[in-house]
Structure 1
Amino acid sequence: MGLFQFIKSKTFLKQLVLAIVGLVLFIFAVMKWLDITTNHDQKIEVPNLEKKSLLSVESILEDLDLKFVVIDSASYNPNYPPKSVIEQSPEAGTFVKEKRKIYLTLNPSNYNDVVIPDLFGRTKRQATSQLLGIGFRVSSTEILVKDIAKDVVRGLKFKGKELKIGDKIPKNSMITLMLGDGEGTGRYKSTTEGSN
């Protein structure tokens, strides 16, 4: 029996039909298996975790069979509780599959500390500009000290304590300028000057 006659035979056609049916069943089985293992139709809505503590986040996500990873701490934001979620990825309302990781950015417990620069001898305007530029607030009330120069910085105070160059205090702190009154006969001697 030649090849051409075999192709025309009933045996070949039966085997061809069986092969096609077997292939269709195999593809169907693979698709079903992929559906089951990838949870194709299962969707979980990501909750809004903003301003929630890590303990609260852990409980919420555990109930939804989701996981979380803390990726970063942002700059301190006083509008959010310390150690609470500021940002999340994926965002709230997004649909994800179970066991998906939610990436969180947390609010630090306080502002970062900033180093006090050397402002001695600067004008009030220069010192105010520099302090605001590095993240401090400047009190509208100044302390005038006896000094030959008027409106020249002769010291800085934070919470009633005189600051030294290099001291570190939290960003956004309120600093009071100690300025010369222009009525002194010499230069004002700071109590901290000896240690500068």
Structure 2
Amino acid sequence: MSLRKFLTSKVFFIQLAIAVGLVVVFAFVMMKWLSFTTNHGDEITVPDLSKLSVEVAEEKLDALDLEYVLLDTTEYQKDYPKFSVVKQDPIAGSKVKEGRKIYIKVNSDAYRDIVMPDLIEQSLRQAEPTLKALGLELGEKTYKPYLGKDMVLEMRYKGRKLKAGDKIPKASKIDLVLGDGKVGFEEEIDSVPVVEEVIDEEF
């Protein structure tokens, strides 16, 4: 049989239909297999772990067949309980597969210490931004007689006098004793004894 007759024969079309059918079946089976092995359509929504303790977060993730990895502690944040979850990756609401690891960071139990700078004889205008830049707060301001107005004379923390180099917790309130600029100068006038010269006249 010639090639032309074969391509137009019933046998050819039957074989072509069988081949196409096999390809379709193979493609369908492959898609199902890939869907099964990758859990396609069976994604898990990552829960919000914010402010939960590590123990509670672990239980919540275990219930969803997810795992966690504790990366590190962050700097203390007062809006979060001590040792609670502050950050997570992937974030809450993300879609992940079963067994995915969730990376978390937890809150520290206290502020880190700050080395107190030397503010003595600086102006209040200079001292306040320096405190803020270090994560400290300006507390109570008191004044006492001193020539320089708003000049820092003392630094105090909870009533304790501070000196440069002392360590105090971050976010602490630093009280400042400032000059009021109202001190007067009292000139002391030395009493100069008047020496009277007595001129003896010789007669």
TM-score bracket for the superposition, by shorter chain length: 0.7 to 0.9
Deviation of residue 147 (structure 1)? Answer: 6.1
Aligned to 1:157: 156
Amino acid at match of 1:152: M
Aligned to 2:17: 17
1:39 aligns with 2:39: yes
| CA contact 1:143–1:176 (8 Å) conserved in 2 | no
Kindly provide the CA deviation profile for residues 68-125 of structure 1, in whole angstroms up to 9, marking residues without a partner as x.
3445655432111122122334443444331233343432322233232221211234
Runs of 5+ consecutive residues of structure 1 not aligned to the other structure: 186-196
Alignment partners' CA distance in 2, 1:177 and 1:17:
93
**Overall identity of the aligned pairs, in %:** 45
Alignment partners' CA distance in 2, 1:153 and 1:130:
13
Alignment partners' CA distance in 2, 1:34 and 1:124:
69
Runs of 5+ consecutive residues of structure 2 not aligned to the other structure: 186-203
Alignment partners' CA distance in 1, 2:142 and 2:69:
47
- What's the RMSD between the two structures over aligned residues? 2.9
| CA contact 2:140–2:174 (8 Å) conserved in 1 | no
Aligned to 2:191: none
Deviation of residue 32 (structure 1)? Answer: 0.7
Deviation of residue 30 (structure 1)? Answer: 0.3
Alignment partners' CA distance in 2, 1:156 and 1:33:
72
Aligned to 2:29: 29
| CA contact 1:131–1:137 (8 Å) conserved in 2 | yes
Amino acid at match of 1:165: A
Aligned to 2:61: 61
Deviation of residue 130 (structure 1)? Answer: 2.3
* TM-score between the two structures when normalised by the length of structure 1: 0.76
Deviation of residue 4 (structure 1)? Answer: 1.4
Alignment partners' CA distance in 2, 1:7 and 1:87:
67
- Which SS does the other structure have where 2:109 is aligned? coil
What does 1:1-196 correspond to in 2, within 5 Å? 1-70=1-70, 73-142=73-142, 144=144, 149=148, 151-180=150-179
Asked which structure has the greater CA Rg, the reply is 2
Amino acid at match of 1:19: A
Kindly provide the CA deviation profile for residues 132-163 of structure 1, in whole angstroms up to 9, marking residues without a partner as x.
3432122215375x866554223322234333
Alignment partners' CA distance in 2, 1:23 and 1:168:
75
What is the count of residue pairs matched by the alignment?
Answer: 184
Deviation of residue 56 (structure 1)? Answer: 1.4
- Which SS does the other structure have where 1:157 is aligned? strand
Kindly provide the CA deviation profile for residues 11-59 of structure 1, in whole angstroms up to 9, marking residues without a partner as x.
4333222211111111011011011111112132322211001121112
Alignment partners' CA distance in 1, 2:158 and 2:133:
20
